[in-house]
Structure 1
Amino acid sequence: MKTEDIVRTFLEYFEERGHRRVTGSTLLPPPGDPVLFTTSGMHPLTPYLEGRPHPLGRRLVNVQRCLRTTDLDEVGDSTHLTVFEMLGTWSLGDYEGPESLDWGYGLLTEGLGVDPGLLHATVYGGDERSGRDSASLEFWQSRGVPVELTVEDNWWSNGPTGPCGPDSEIFFWSGDTPPRSTPTRDDRWVEVWNHVMMRHRRLDDGSLVPLPQRTIDTGLGLERLAALLQGRPSVFECDVFDPWRRLVPTMWPLEERSLRLVSDHLRSAVVVIGDGVRPSSTGRGYVLRRLVRRVLTVLWRDDPTRGLGDLPSELIEHTLYHFRQDMDPADVRRPLLDEEQRFRRLLDRGRRILARPRFRRPLDDEDLHYLHDTHGLPRDLIMTLRQE
């Protein structure tokens, strides 16, 4: 099943069950939002999760592109991406957790053909904050799906204060043996779908009060699900990465983890540029700059003559089309090449500065601050140059 077929099946399944489709937003949160990028499907819907009536009603479904800087250092493993798509459903004071889980189970097993024997669930086991989520536990037991009870892993919050509540996560077995153990004890159980039951608000003193509206918020990672359904060992081998795996190695021979990082970061940079961001030294622009420079660091490690001018237009066009972005590929390539030139000049200057006698010894924090504040050399770049 291709990724586009998964999306269509998901949307149609929930539309048949009374959900109205919400058009996904860009990666940029609304003005005034302190978060740099949209990190989940629920992010643009926060006011409605807090109780404001949504113009489309109380049952919603959408596909939202997301970016998480917290996962940058994880990129290259089998499950983490910088930019990804989240399939989401919401009940704004309408149905409760067991109904949401029933539909989730139905979509996976009936709509997408997943063997129920490859599923495992986790459920909030209860502590002094709130009792066990017995309704979710009973639902999974009624379907014969094994359940693991946890506490911290199954309590969702949007920060130290604000909406929170128990969640139930659905895991898919990715191993080449019959399923064994539990999700917290075997990482071959891959989380694919989280069903959050927002029932409480945490106050400044840590106490919980009931929310005026009980909300269900679910999130299903598209690329992760696609890899599992397509029998691929990592998200980088699902069909959305097929053009990258076909074309990148012909330009730049790379070992597997470097291939994954370069493909992910360039793909993410295209999406970020497509949403209107340009490289800079602060905020969103700095995240984009960091993505591009991490790619160049990997490429130049083996061959300094490599350049982003070699990036095939097909990869830019494929990414813009997949993320529904209307931009000329040339307008994406231009800031990539400008940033490459800027980074090359910075590297040349950094090498000359670090060659001075003062900096040939081990560097302390005072040296690193001086190099950054006076010469614009960030710590990670200094460490890279010192390893040359």
Structure 2
Amino acid sequence: MSAKGQKFILNQRWFEHLSPREFHAHFRHFDHLFRVFLGRHKDFGLKLDIHGMAGAPIKVKVGDPEPTIHLVAIKNSGKWTRFYIPPSRLSAVPDDARVSTMGQNVNIADSGYVFVHPLLRFEVVTDPYIAEQALSPKNIQAARTCQDAPPFEPGAIRTPSQIFSTKLEYLVTTERVHGKGARLPQYFLYEHMFGNEHEYPFNGLFYVGITRRSWKKRWSEHRAAIERGSRLKFHQAFRERRDGGRLSHIHHYVLAVLDDLDTLCQAEQSIVAGHWHDTRLLNMIPGGHEGLRYLRQRNIVGDETPLAPEDRERTLENWMQNRPIAKALNERWLDPDWAAAVVCAPANRFSIEDVCAIRELAATGLPLSEIASRIGCDNLTRVRRVISGQTYQRVQLR
């Protein structure tokens, strides 16, 4: 990944094709930061060179640096501050965290490692409150010592941070991907993640989709549906987070770009199926060709009706809007008792009684270890997240 003789390491044409418009003005600065990172982390850069340039995943063991380079631009008091965040080390993952390879859940506890593609992650922060918090000496010191920073004040954030991630191979200039005559791919497999600070950057609610157009165009259509009151789970959940002051970041992840739509359909189908029982998944129907089959089996569309990938959600939205049964099912999510029952249904989740007991015991001032002991849980992190409100937010005290 030598920068010798190159004006830029990153490919500007692909960067502007894939990333949100707000990121384009930072291209030169991000490219410079990438060079600085490679100069300071030569061994890490060599590993990225061998695997990332070839589009191959890297085997990462617990304790190893994750192959993700995170470049940040923060606007504070009218001035931009830019820096890179050193790769964090892969750690044992709490039960309620989401780790995936192309969307498939990965159990690191069983194997001690995971195969992941090297990623480039870019972040643009313009919210004054987030900028002030991120650049405060207290929070910088907390980050350096791997300590938790003080929580954000509820409702203080007006503009969520924008995050964009994709595979390193798409953006680092190579003959294989960007050589003479190379065309920009037509089809996108993408993931939208969003959440509050404790879900940063990829453990929040998420939606997976494919489109034959730019994913950015598709995102603008999702935003329009959110504003017009769409009842789709994705759009409704986004409104609830935004209106409730629980939205600190929006993370757009382009998983793949290809000219082969059928391959992307198969990938989307696999990803959604792999996360189908994850309570954070916001897709309401299976992915890929299974999604179209699902709509046809329920007579939502006719057997011979052609339907583009980006038209499935609009079709489902219109159907739900005009069907009393669909409305009733959607409205059940507004019932706290019913929502709590669904959230606590999987076998590896706390029961409603467990969640209520944890909160009641915490209110008495009982130590965390004692609370965990009383409910028979040996994972203190899970209990702490319930107490802090980071998880099981739909479960209310009886």
Same fold (TM over 0.5): no
**What TM-score, normalized by structure 2, do the two folds share?**
0.26
